[in-house]
Chain A
Amino acid sequence: MSTYLKYAIDPEEIQSVVKNGVAVGFEVKTKIPYYRGVSLSLIDTVRISLDGQEYGPSDMTFTIGSETYTFDEMSTMPDLRWEYGEKMTIFVRRNGGIHLGTHRVDVFIGIRVSYMGMVLPFSQSFTVCPMGG
């Protein structure tokens, strides 16, 4: 099992996001599913499902360090990077966040890998039981 399949996402860090007492969505923290860092414009595809309900890039924002981007912004950012070993927080807008109980979260991230001439797919599923929200 590759390094990033083993260590990219800690399911404990999949949590609801609460603002002013209201759960406005949930977040997934992930390290890059590749063996090096890349330009943000190389992030080709991101999909996250909660109990089968799929969310695409337009439902998300992406935070690295202190900067937050939309997916469209990232696609125009060859000079900004997601470094190897660095966590990105993907926020998914969803009223109510993740309700109490056990849920299934599927994460798909595709990165364009030039030398392979393809989008390198990373796909993992988690059973989560987040608190709060």
Chain B
Amino acid sequence: MIKRSVSFYSYQESYYTGRKSLEELMEYTGKTLGADGIEILAEQTPVGSFPNPSDADVDMWKGWLDKYGVTPACMDSFIDWMLYKNSILTLKEQVMQMERDLKLASRLGFPVIRVLCPVRKEVMEASIPIAEHYGVKMGIEVHSPMTFTARWITEYLEMMDRSGSKYVGIVPDFGIFQVRPAKKRIENALRSGARQEMVDLLCELTEAHTPFAELTSRMTAAGANAAEIGLANSFARTVYSEPKVLRDIAKYIVHCHGKFYDMDENCCESCIEYEEPLRVLHEIGYDGFISSEYEGQSLFGVDEFCDELEQVRRHQEMLKHLIGR
């Protein structure tokens, strides 16, 4: 059975502005939303101090997990290979950063860490014995515009096969199933002078998975104005993958990111497909977590309030409906 979790990336504004603390967000996620799991960016909403919380901090964290009825699902890791101005960290130094995060994840009870897509496969490969030691899996995030057939990823998969380790895998991000601009982004464009018929044309093209270069040339040829081109440009780093691709990589999936931008009042995502990808995940017997990962904050203007908590609630409702629990 697929389990529901929430990435606290979704709550970035609530935490940044001081409106909600880590504990309050855990309470909301566990008690109000009834999610099974939580995902944090260890360097965004740290438990105690990153990367070495005290034992008392870890005990407090575990107390919150119990109290609010949530399980650690995934911890997002960053490897800062540009740590110093004049040099790039060596392979060994990057593996030390991976070890730092694997150790922290293990202390906090996370079974998986999300590894950023641009991290070199050599870093993950060299970290396998450490991951096995700590009992924490490493999942490389496949995030649009990356695809599973890109060489960067096929080489990763070859490395995983060669290693034979269960501690390496993939975290697909549902942004790869985006089919049109978010409703909120379209509304913003319409307010800035985009015309409805041109927005319709753009959506027709994106729904047909038109490559970006062709998308912009077709829009320009149709006489698109600045607001319409701006809307088209929001697809510059969006490359669609067919949901069935999840079947091909089934054995590698260690966690899923349910990226979303705009949930409407009926708890429908306005731009990313969920039904079919979740059906495929169900068919392949995926029994890990999918995290709600809200990224619509930047679609709100300076005087508009972005209700992250409500957006996440709607997304969890949708997942509940589609997963069946």
Binds B, one of A11-19, A30-38, A52-60, A95-103: A30-38
Q: Which of B83, B118, B302 lies at the interface centre, i.e. has the most chain A CB atoms within 10 A of its CB?
A: B83
Report if B80 contacts A (CB, 8 A): yes
Cβ proximity bits A97-120 to B, threshold 8 Å, 1 near / 0 not: 000000000000000111101000
**Do A84 and B298 contact each other (CB < 8 Å), given the known contacts A38-B80, A78-B83?**
no
Among B12, B78, B118, B301, the residue within 8 A (CB) of A3 is B12
The A-B contact count (CB < 8 A) is 78
Chain B facing A: main interface SS: loop
Contacts of A35 in B (CB 8 A): 9, 12, 41, 44
Contacts of A70 in B (CB 8 A): none
Contact in complex: A42, B46 (CB < 8 Å): no
Report if A41 contacts B (CB, 8 A): yes
A44 to B13, CA, bound (A): 24
Contacts of B46 in A (CB 8 A): 37, 83-84
A113 to B17, CA, bound (A): 22
Report if B58 contacts A (CB, 8 A): no
Among B13, B49, B116, the residue within 8 A (CB) of A7 is B13
Give the Cβ gap from B98 to chain A, nearest Cβ, in Å. 13
Contacts of B298 in A (CB 8 A): 1-3
Interface size on A, residues (CB 8 A): 26
Contact in complex: B85, A112 (CB < 8 Å): yes
Among A41, A84, A85, the residue within 8 A (CB) of B84 is A41
Contact in complex: B80, A36 (CB < 8 Å): no
Give the Cβ gap from A122 to chain B, nearest Cβ, in Å. 14
Which residue on chain B has the smallest CB distance to residue A76?
A: B84
**Do A36 and B85 contact each other (CB < 8 Å), given the known contacts A7-B17, A84-B45?**
no
Give the Cβ gap from A59 to chain B, nearest Cβ, in Å. 19
Contact in complex: A115, B78 (CB < 8 Å): yes
Contacts of A41 in B (CB 8 A): 83-85
Contacts of B81 in A (CB 8 A): 114
Among B50, B82, B85, B302, the residue within 8 A (CB) of A37 is B50
Contact in complex: A114, B78 (CB < 8 Å): yes
Contacts of A31 in B (CB 8 A): 16
Cβ proximity bits B192-235 to A, threshold 8 Å, 1 near / 0 not: 00000000000000000000000000000000000000000000
A113 to B16, CA, bound (A): 19
Which residue on chain A has the smallest CB distance to residue B80?
A: A114
Among A39, A84, A115, the residue within 8 A (CB) of B83 is A39
Contact in complex: B50, A78 (CB < 8 Å): no
Interface residues on B, range: 20 to 34
A37 to B9, CA, bound (A): 13
Cβ proximity bits A22-48 to B, threshold 8 Å, 1 near / 0 not: 000000000100011111011010000
A4 to B300, CA, bound (A): 12
Report if B147 contacts A (CB, 8 A): no
Contacts of B297 in A (CB 8 A): 2-3
Contacting residues of chain B (1-40) with chain A, CB-CB under 8 angstroms: 9, 12-13, 15-18
Contacts of B13 in A (CB 8 A): 3, 6-7
Contacts of A42 in B (CB 8 A): 80, 82-83
Cβ proximity bits B271-308 to A, threshold 8 Å, 1 near / 0 not: 00000000000000000000000000110111000000
Contacts of B116 in A (CB 8 A): 115
Contacting residues of chain B (33-71) with chain A, CB-CB under 8 angstroms: 41, 43-46, 49-50
Q: A35-B12, A35-B41, A115-B78 are in contact. List 8 more A-B contacts (CB 8 A).
A: A3-B12, A4-B16, A7-B16, A36-B43, A38-B43, A78-B84, A81-B49, A84-B46
In the complex, the 6 A-B pairs of residues with the closest C-beta atoms, listed nearest first: A36-B44, A114-B82, A36-B43, A112-B82, A3-B13, A2-B298
Residue pairs across A and B with Cβ atoms less than 8 A apart, 13 shown, are A1-B300, A1-B301, A3-B298, A7-B16, A35-B12, A38-B43, A41-B85, A83-B46, A84-B12, A84-B43, A112-B85, A115-B118, A117-B82
Taking beta carbons and an 8 Å cutoff, which residues of A are in contact with B? 1-4, 6-7, 31, 35-39, 41-42, 44, 75, 78, 81, 83-85, 112-115, 117
